[in-house]
Amino acid sequence: MSSKWCKNPKTGPSFRLSKYLIDEKSIPISRNYFKHLQFNESKLRKKKKKKKRKGYRIPNSKETMSSKEVQEAFTANTCLTLSNGQKIPQIQLGVWESYDEECYNAVKWALEAGYRGIDSAEWYENEAVCGRAINEYLTATSTPRSSIFFTTKLRNNVSYSETRSAIKRSLKECNLGYIDLYLIHAPYGGPIIREEIYRAVVDAVKEGEVKGWGVSNYGIRHLQEIFDKFPDYPPLVNQIELNPFNTQSNIVEFCRRHSIVLQAYTPLAKSGRFENEVLKEVAGRYEGKGSAEVMIKWGLQEGFVSLPKSVTKGRIVGNLRGSEGWGLEEEDMVKLRGLDEHLVTEWDPTDCP
């Protein structure tokens, strides 16, 4: 090996070794030759990995969206995966405006039919009744507590301390040992109050009082506040009014992009659109299915958790059984999305300040 060849910085062995290491994606440390190297960017460029927030897992698209084929295998035990790893039943009984023995019977019938989730709230004033029905079912059937998913919600957005007290009250009322999912019912109060109450919910999670956390009726601006203030505890769930006549596509798109599972309350639009011609036309293509079954199935197939509400045993059972073993063709999903008229059946705080 000639000394001249070795001394040439652009052809010598040190250059060749450094160039080889760089092309192999190693990093040589050389003061003498770095200024002569021309990097092959296509080889050095590394795929940028999405940063994961501490304490939760980002679910993949197959876990948040469903196809006709997936829905054909749907049962009462079908669950979605929240981004903290929790499994949440995709169909649950809603108990809004259900009271006393009427509520007790509804929960009892739902559990006996196979429902594995009950959606309550402090505002509904039926946490104790729901808890009694659940506990009696668990005892009678030797079912473990972990098999039933119980949700409740904060009634008043007042302060950190009041929120912590409200969570403890809900724990005492339901008497289930812990709350599977605790939601802030609405974004009222302004940014400072929203931050305080969300911090209280996060602390309840840290204390083990609450396993899952989220919000209800939150718009994009409210959700973004949480991401900015609590990057390690983004909301797992946003529960909003969702059905073919109120698709809330902007909020849905934002939630999907940020791995927030959507829960659909009023999935039947309070029966107010059952006679819609397009809805009836779609239902007519599926043997034995009516408007209610199609509306619930639309939400399930969009990847939402559906919360149909009823206090009638036949409808409670029918809403579940009518969702099992079939799916909508994509062309019908598109037709149903086209029915959107932003129909608000009760309230819509998603744009409150």
DSSP-derived secondary structure for 48-60: PPPPPPTT--PPP
- Whole-angstrom distance, CA of residue 119 vs CA of residue 80: 16
Q: Which residues are catalytic?
A: 124, 185
Torsion of CA 161, 165, 166, 170, to 10 degrees: 160
Closest CA to 214 of 163, 261, 249: 261
- Whole-angstrom distance, CA of residue 127 vs CA of residue 152: 8
Do the beta carbons of residue 39 and residue 25 sit within 8 Å? no
Sequence-separated (6 or more) residues with CB below 8 Å from residue 285? 329, 332
Closest CA to 163 of 206, 119, 199: 199
Output phi, psi for 62, to 5 deg.
Answer: -70, -20
